Amino acid sequence: MNFWPHELVKRRELIWILIQRNLKIRYKSSVLGVFWSLLGPLFLILIYSVFLGLIRVPIHLPTLVSGIIVWQFLAMCLGDSLQSILGNANLVTKASFPRVILPLSMVGANVVNFVLSFVVLIAYLVWEGGAVGALGWLPAVFVSQIALCLGLTLVIGSVNVFFRDTEHVLSVVMLAWFFMSPVIYEPDMVMDSFPEWVHWLFFMNPMSGVLTGYRMALLGSEPVAPELMGVSLAVCWLLLGVGLLVFRASEPRFGDEL
């Protein structure tokens, strides 16, 4: 297997074809197709607006919605990762190409979905009159989240070939990870209530930095120490490296297992 960028550039047409295929599969038999990527966030905003208005819970809706939309990008990537190799058994066993293209195209399809959802989120925040914050964080956070999603997709897709219980383990891990990440709450709840060593531990969770970075950029949330953000985003890239190593070690045995 070759992970060199020039090999992937040579196969860019194949990657784009697989991204399109993954998008078509997701919206197969759907009348609106990819437009559900726009309608989904709209319905999410509407439902939470009505629900929070009825129960009168003092939750900042833009903070909640932005957190959930960012989290959904990760959740969709990891959910799809289960079939990134297993669901392409015919390609893996009968065609010769860098197998890393399969999880890469899976993440690429979800990037398209996320960008469309992000457009809706931006429009909503503008309509709400939200403050613009440290936009310089936005590119770094976006690219780091893609690195995180790809790294974990490589690991989960590989492991699921050999251990079919991975799906059940993943559902439990994702539930715990959701509440350990500042999706529905602000990092201030942790920063103000626990000693400094807990802050470092909290930001070793890569999604803590990703979610905080988006909110700092889009909502003007209170800045977090750059060193904490740096640790969090560094973990995203570390997990990409781990994913590449796991995939490289597992790939030679894919054919035998499939």
User: pLDDT digit string (tens) for 62-83?
Assistant: 888 889 999 999 999 999 999 9
In this predicted structure, the answer to whether residue 26 has a pLDDT above a threshold of 80 is: no
| Residue with the larger pLDDT of the pair 52 and 84 | 84
Distance (Å, rounded) from C-alpha 82 to C-alpha 102?
A: 11
Is residue 183 helix, strand or coil? coil
C-beta atoms surrounding 12 within 10 Å: 10
Give the pLDDT band (50/70/90) at residue 4: low
| Residue type at 74 in one-letter notation | L
How much is the pLDDT for 57?
A: 61
The pLDDT value given to residue 33: 57
User: What is the C-alpha radius of gyration for the chain, rounded to an integer number of angstroms?
Assistant: 19
pLDDT of residue 225: 87
10/237: higher pLDDT: 237
236 or 48, which is more confident: 236
Binned at pLDDT 50, 70 and 90, residue 25 comes out as confident
- Whole-model pTM? 0.88
Residue 29 confidence class, pLDDT cut points 50, 70, 90: low
Sign of CA dihedral 111, 112, 117, 119: positive
Residue 173 has pLDDT above 60, yes or no: yes
